């Protein structure tokens, strides 16, 4: 019952704030990594290079589903903005269901740009099953497909080191974040401007995915503040001997 109430409250906040954000411009704090991602999208179109968006090997039906959905949201916008490039983006994943959604998301981006005929199903790839199988299949993309940036948004563990090493061999910059501590540590060390924790879920808002994504950041902040207040209130009541 408590979980349902929290979900309903969050959904109500998201709806109200989304409507409000559509009428007023959003003011977001600066995140250098996402600013760099925004620039990378434009550079890939101007230079005729390709972006590699890797969504990791987390599934949608488990605890990693949130990070996968965040990666898909960013992929949708990237696909729309780079669909007319000489070298449209390629996306990789290590989960069958996520791979199918990756292809569908890419196609939706092309459709939004009005260039359905340019979409190629081979741009969304399942490079392998299992952490290291996925990484082994994705590693050659940096060397063979004229990649200008590797964007890693999703669930990555220790196998992220293999993808980072492949990028460094080709002097391809890495922009990445993971919901796994091992993967996050590797990406933190490899990125010039690292993303951390819930900043994974901010990517869509920063590259222009719409008012709902911007509103979700505000909802996160509100819920985070409420949790802090509840914890502080509980601690005060405990010290006062009331609970």
Instruction: Give 83's contacts (C-beta < 8 A, 6+ positions apart).
Output: 109, 110, 113, 115, 118, 119
Q: Exposed, middle or buried by CB within 10 Å (0-12, 13-18, 19+), for 232? A: exposed
So what's the pLDDT on residue 189?
83
What CATH number should be reported for the domain holding residue 133? Answer: 3.40.50
- The reported pLDDT for the residue numbered 22 is 52
Q: Round to whole Å and give the CA distance between 182 and 50.
A: 27
147 and 235 in one domain? no
Number of structural domains found in the chain: 2
Residue 131: inside a domain = yes
Print the domain residue range for 40.
30-209
Answer yes or no: do 223 and 112 share one domain. no
Is there a single domain that holds both residue 69 and residue 125?
Answer: yes
Kindly state whether residues 126 and 53 are assigned to the same domain. yes
DSSP assignment string, 146-195? TEEEEEEEEE--TTHHHHHHHHHHTT--EEEEESSHHHHHHHHHH-SS--
Q: Which residue positions in the chain have pLDDT lower than 70?
A: 1-30, 203-221, 243
237 in a domain, yes or no? yes
- Spatial distance between the Cα atoms of 174 and 119, rounded to a whole number of angstroms: 25
Q: What is residue 201's DSSP assignment?
A: G
| pLDDT at site 148 | 87
In a domain, 19, yes or no: no
Place of tokens 């220790």: 158
């Amino acid at each position: 019952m408590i979980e349902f109430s929290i979900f309903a409250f969050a959904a109500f906040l998201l709806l109200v704030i989304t409507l409000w954000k559509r009428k007023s411009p959003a003011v977001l704090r600066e995140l250098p990594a996402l600013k760099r991602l925004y620039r990378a999208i434009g550079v890939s179109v101007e230079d005729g290079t390709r972006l590699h968006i890797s969504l990791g090997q987390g599934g949608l039906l488990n605890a990693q589903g949130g990070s996968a959905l965040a990666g898909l949201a960013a992929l949708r916008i990237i696909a729309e903005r780079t669909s007319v490039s000489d070298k449209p983006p390629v996306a990789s994943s290590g989960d069958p269901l996520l791979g199918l959604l990756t292809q569908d998301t890419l196609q939706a981006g092309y459709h939004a740009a009005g260039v359905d005929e340019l979409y190629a199903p081979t741009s969304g790839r399942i490079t392998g099953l299992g952490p290291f199988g996925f990484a082994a299949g994705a590693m050659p993309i940096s060397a063979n497909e004229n990649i200008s940036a590797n964007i890693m948004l999703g669930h990555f563990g220790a196998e992220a080191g293999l993808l980072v090493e492949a990028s460094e061999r080709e002097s391809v910059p890495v922009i990445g974040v993971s919901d796994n501590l091992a993967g996050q540590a590797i990406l933190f060390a490899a990125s010039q401007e690292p993303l951390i924790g819930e900043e994974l879920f901010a990517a869509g808002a920063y590259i222009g995915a719409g008012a709902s994504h911007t509103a979700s950041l505000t909802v996160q902040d509100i819920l985070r503040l409420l949790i802090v207040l509840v914890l502080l209130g509980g601690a005060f009541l405990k010290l006062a001997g009331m609970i």
